[in-house]
Amino acid sequence: MKCGLIERRRGVFDDESKIDAFIWYEKNWIHDDYDHIHQRYQLTYVEEGYQYLHIENKIYLVPQNHLIWIPSGVKHRTETEAKTVNLMVVLFKTVFDNDFYKNIHVFSAPPVLKEMLQYAAKWNQQMEENEEQSYFLKALLNSLPHFCQEKECLHIPIPNDQRLLPVCNYINTNYAENFSIESLADLSTMSVRSLQRIFKQETGITLQKYAQLIRILKSIELINTKQYTLSQIAYKVGYKSLAAFTTSYFSVMKEKVNIK
């Protein structure tokens, strides 16, 4: 049994529980590193650490104090290099009639939602019907569309065009370098103009925006380690000044960067 579900075969989970919604909270979370699927709707709250989730043609980053909503029947895979990952997962059998629940969402947890989740932790792994638990989790579920301030920046698009993969791989590995558009075009065996046009067409963002996104997501990983100052992090991800980094961080995350 994993998260209250039974893995009948690799990556495919059966749900034998009759309870409509339940909590599964663990410290030092270790998750399978292969794709899996289940019929429950999933809300995951990252209390500490961070997680990447591979879903379809995107990779979503869920930092500390953020949540991801995953609809029923959507195949996903998790990974992280954080030393400690504390997660709370809420699994729902049914949801309200609202388009919100049909799509993937990543958003920060406002204080009131964090308080609700902390309160709900008292029902951790409680798989029997409980009237207060049932009403409380339904109220939490109903509130999610109102709490969600979408962080569209927290996903990395993966292009389908195979010519673009060497470009993405190069940026992902060498994000701290000042690479030229001409060198990326050589990697793709396309002209600069074709590369820019096809990359935007495939991913929805420009190469420059992709590189900025990778740098900021990498900075979140470094912030999580609590080993570096902001100035050191700025340099490590390719910025020449703290001011340039903080400006870029705010433009992506829509919030100020800080080390707690």
Average pLDDT across each block of 10 residues of the chain; the chain has 260 residues. List them in order. 77 84 87 86 94 91 93 93 90 96 94 95 92 96 92 84 95 93 96 96 94 93 91 96 95 82
pLDDT of residue 10: 84
Tokens of 197: 């046009």
Q: Position of tokens 């569309």?
A: 145
pLDDT of residue 1: 60
Q: Can you tell me the distance from the alpha carbon of 179 to that of 22, in angstroms, rounded to the nearest whole number? A: 48
Nearest residue to 105 (alpha-carbon basis) of 150, 62, 75, 136: 150
pLDDT of residue 215: 95
pLDDT of residue 29: 78
Q: Can you tell me the distance from the alpha carbon of 116 to that of 209, in angstroms, rounded to the nearest whole number? A: 35
Class of the 159-253 domain?
Answer: mainly alpha
pLDDT of residue 8: 79
Contact present, 65 and 118 (Cβ < 8 Å): no
Class of the 6-154 domain?
Answer: mainly beta
Q: Can you tell me the distance from the alpha carbon of 188 to that of 72, in angstroms, rounded to the nearest whole number? A: 37
Check for a shared fold between 6-154 and 159-253: no
Handedness of CA 94, 97, 98, 104 (dihedral sign): positive
Break the chain into its structural domains and give their ranges: 6-154, 159-253
What residues contact 112, with CB distance under 8 A and at least 6 apart? Answer: 147
Handedness of CA 53, 184, 240, 245 (dihedral sign): negative
pLDDT of residue 255: 83
pLDDT of residue 11: 78
pTM over 0.95: no
Classify residue 238 by its DSSP letter: T
- As a dihedral over the C-alpha atoms of residue 69, residue 71, residue 75, residue 77, rounded to 10 degrees, the angle is 10
Reduce the DSSP state of residue 163 to 3 states and report it. Answer: helix
Handedness of CA 182, 188, 191, 192 (dihedral sign): negative
Reduce the DSSP state of residue 68 to 3 states and report it. Answer: strand
pLDDT of residue 75: 94
pLDDT of residue 213: 93
